[in-house]
Structure 1
């Protein structure tokens, strides 16, 4: 029996007389709100939080009373198990394998298994999942073993220390299965496919050469911070183009051209198409094959290979630009039925996506955009789905869950970092709160967009967009920019294309300042230096004044050290060195205008 929960919709609550009476007694004006009239699909927990306050005891009391009542909503349920057909032994006997003879570290290695005449059977995700690729690197130094990826299995064997990784295959098209693994150590790798009774062993060998210049490998959380596989620190400096992969080829090309000169290193993007204001166009294709003329008629057992080819190419192109594809796996802004899939389809979709893309080094997983608005899913569903991603991803890419109201419980062991919407004007304070609450890296993935839309969230000035970005960075968070200027050709936040604002240029300037820090990472200053200061070790300080406009500021050079001091105009993107060889307490003159910063670099 399904009872009311914070995820239950307002419409469902109002449809039950006893539940409706509880609301009318506790909040008699609630049903007069515009959102109650126009959006019965809104989750009741979020609505009560907005109207009463998240910490209001009345909210908790109402939710507890509602939890005693039955929710009439029919949630999606797993379909009956389908009879699975496997390739015949004759078909399996003719299977053949193809693989490259050479590759580089941090580049996906793809193996293809062709089973002639078996295409109609291979498309079952359960069949594909029973076939695995094992890649083994032998005779490597202990140092190389220690540098292996999080999914590698290391140990002593008769051939010496080995690094081994195993991945599951996916159905691609025709008679083909494919598997990809990401080598993170150079050397001679042996490949073996198991689960197919081929006459000849499905084996191959590939020589993996050292990583190319500028290739640093996947990003993971290491010692509470983001870092590439080779140890290079990573600070998320992202932007948002939710539906850019669902635009035409010309718009996708312009998006990549814009990103190439933007300075961003992460892009939030949806896999499913998005239906929302300013974004109502039909997509070229979607993850599932069509099963009829209706826009909600899909063959839930068949993935569209052309769609995934396009998605993979977009991820590759972002990788060439040094940009993380922060892939949003589910979202509520939908008219095609993807937000209401049955649990078995959710699971199969996730397994297929992760098997296809986990070997790409420039991938992050965002379980959802505004997860609370996916009202057909409960917290137990998110836990199940998150664990599937971990199970299918031997590389160990970061995983977050983006909210609309309150943060997802990032203390879950499968969640790598806090992905948060909010913060507003008090950005720095919110970052501190989230870090202290969860003890994990924080990324503010949505905090309002620079633009001129009628929505409150879409009309920040460039100065305010930049100020919030700086505030988060100074407090040690990653940040994600967005731009929502109306234009007939499209809005960056939805479609990509061309950036028309001003904050993105200044964010690129900030990225330069981070890269110039001695270790390439800014952390919140220890107590005593203030909340507007970030440090990189004990010999580098960066203080940001935001909208304040002091005419002077005092800085203290660490005892026994001398330093160069710079005054930085974060809006005009200028750096003026005002002192060298400075020591002790130093008074720094400032120009009495906002958006200034002071940098101290010890000799």
Structure 2
């Protein structure tokens, strides 16, 4: 038996080192156990293989997987500090009753663990650090050539994004027609249909480990940059070219279990059951419910899980399998109030994973100006939700490297403004929510004495300093509170600190104005914000 332990992640590859008698492993890193064993039948279907990992207060059952050439692997991510003991179970004698011990130690400074939900409305890492999902979209980047994949990673490293939406299966769409070099299943034969078109016939009983190793390599590369991989498990963009959108139910379930056995131990993955689930005509709502439960039951670590529909098609996100809401709808981000209402309906974190994209496409969903894209993201954040970025510029035809589809380089402008907004939030005390929901459309707060006022497209010469008495869950504002104000140009990415000190006077119709009725002189331009912080 060979044991290896993932000690660190490099940009595009992992380093593993031989385990000693009792190896030390950081919390939320992963250990990989490898075994070579003879067996009869199909290693993907006929071999049962798992391990029970036991800690003094936790027991986790982890499924192993066949990696080809009589090699079997188990991957484990310890979630508790201290000693873990494990024992394998299998119907193959060479894989059964293997035992060992490992010591889980304090994680390094950059290892914050899995992202989960915080106080039911926002996200945080397992160690308690707040996580603000500022993601982008590159659906098929992992199916492009090696050079383009590397360029995508380089672009992401410089971008400030900390999440990416990406498909596991290849995509056949008007703007992405490239044939991938790797497939998740073994090709059985290639034949011609009645129209003379080439048709690939897959052996659905045989996975292709090389495909999954490439995916794992990319996930590790993303982790090294602090980026979460929001993995789309199914999608409708096949149209019979490969048939992965219409596989039999038992194949779908086997695929899910194999995928999760391989990568649920990667701390930076999310499960997106589908992109535009309602366009996958081969599956019913009952099918999606069953597949979602299969994902949750196959994941010992309970990664984030949701499902995404076509425009304004909402699933039953109240179901316990879903940790957050993932929707395609631009309506909720036309104002912060609308975004806040959506969150207050579901009482779960909301990610508007498609509100449209910056670009120049003929399709209305792909032709936002960079100003509009930035504005919608600000509206979502002010309302206590999160908005996913995308970029879809086409200058010639579908062979262009459109980031939204294939990755590559960013050629637009809103991505820089997203990084600027992320910095502002991370410098604040916590996630935002409207201070006086449904009554104040421009004032949001991340904590007591900390406000953002966002004017959006509105332009004005002066703004009378005023704040609502109510401040959500942070209590009520009182008279005599002193503040300093920064003027933020959200598109120009500048911050100017004003020299004046503002102090709340007597309350006036549920609001406090400055005791001397001071005004703030504003640049006469759109997309301005104010950061207002109490002086303690």
User: Shorter-chain TM-score: what band?
Assistant: 0.7 to 0.9
Q: Secondary structure of the equivalent of 1:264? A: coil
Shift of 1:121: 3.0
Q: 1:429 to 1:376 in 2, by over 3 A?
A: farther
Q: 1:223 aligns with which of 102, 119, 124?
A: 119
Q: Secondary structure of the equivalent of 1:122? A: coil
**Partner residue in 1 for 2:392:** 484
**Partner residue in 2 for 1:207:** 103
**Partner residue in 2 for 1:349:** 255
**Partner residue in 2 for 1:282:** 179
Q: 2:25 aligns with which of 103, 106, 113?
A: 103
- Please say if residues 337 and 438 of structure 2, whose CA atoms lie closer than 8 Å, have aligned partners that are also in contact: no
Q: Secondary structure of the equivalent of 1:563? A: strand
- Please say if residues 338 and 383 of structure 2, whose CA atoms lie closer than 8 Å, have aligned partners that are also in contact: no
Q: Secondary structure of the equivalent of 2:124? A: strand
TM-score (norm 2): 0.86
Q: 1:367 to 1:430 in 2, by over 3 A?
A: farther
**Partner residue in 2 for 1:82:** none
Deviations 1:371-406 (A, max 9, x none): 000011111001000000100111111111101041
The farther-off stretch of 546-555 and 320-329 is 546-555
What's the Cα RMSD here? 1.8
Report the number of matched residues: 480
Q: Secondary structure of the equivalent of 2:109? A: coil
Matches within 5 A, 1:282-361: 282-294=179-191, 295-334=199-238, 335-361=241-267
**Partner residue in 1 for 2:55:** 137
Shift of 1:97: 5.9
Q: 1: CA distance between counterparts of 2:135 and 2:214?
A: 22
Q: Which runs of 5+ in 1 are unaligned?
A: 1-95, 139-161
**Partner residue in 1 for 2:140:** 243
- Please say if residues 245 and 311 of structure 1, whose CA atoms lie closer than 8 Å, have aligned partners that are also in contact: yes
Q: Secondary structure of the equivalent of 2:257? A: helix
**Partner residue in 1 for 2:11:** none
Deviations 1:423-466 (A, max 9, x none): 24625344233223322111000011101111111111101111
Q: Secondary structure of the equivalent of 1:550? A: coil
Q: 1:204 to 1:450 in 2, by over 3 A?
A: same
Q: 1:199 to 1:172 in 2, by over 3 A?
A: closer
Deviations 1:195-230 (A, max 9, x none): 243498401222222111121110111321211100
Q: 1: CA distance between counterparts of 2:96 and 2:362?
A: 65
**Partner residue in 1 for 2:196:** none
**Partner residue in 2 for 1:507:** 418
1:258 aligns with 2:180: no
The farther-off stretch of 396-405 and 522-531 is 522-531
Q: 1:382 to 1:199 in 2, by over 3 A?
A: closer
- Please say if residues 547 and 595 of structure 1, whose CA atoms lie closer than 8 Å, have aligned partners that are also in contact: yes
**Partner residue in 2 for 1:10:** none
Q: Which runs of 5+ in 2 are unaligned?
A: 5-18, 192-198, 468-476, 505-512
The farther-off stretch of 203-212 and 261-270 is 203-212
Q: Secondary structure of the equivalent of 1:118? A: coil
Q: 2: CA distance between counterparts of 1:240 and 1:354?
A: 22
1:190 aligns with 2:85: yes
Shift of 1:168: 1.1
TM-score (norm 1): 0.77
Q: 2:457 aligns with which of 547, 554, 558?
A: 547
Shift of 1:526: 2.9
Deviations 1:552-577 (A, max 9, x none): 22334643432211000001100001
Q: 1:288 to 1:528 in 2, by over 3 A?
A: closer
- Please say if residues 269 and 327 of structure 1, whose CA atoms lie closer than 8 Å, have aligned partners that are also in contact: yes
**Partner residue in 2 for 1:455:** 363
The farther-off stretch of 303-312 and 408-417 is 408-417
Shift of 1:349: 0.5
- Please say if residues 423 and 447 of structure 1, whose CA atoms lie closer than 8 Å, have aligned partners that are also in contact: yes
Q: 2: CA distance between counterparts of 1:200 and 1:378?
A: 39
Shift of 1:312: 0.4
- Please say if residues 556 and 583 of structure 1, whose CA atoms lie closer than 8 Å, have aligned partners that are also in contact: no
**Partner residue in 2 for 1:574:** 494
- Please say if residues 566 and 579 of structure 1, whose CA atoms lie closer than 8 Å, have aligned partners that are also in contact: no
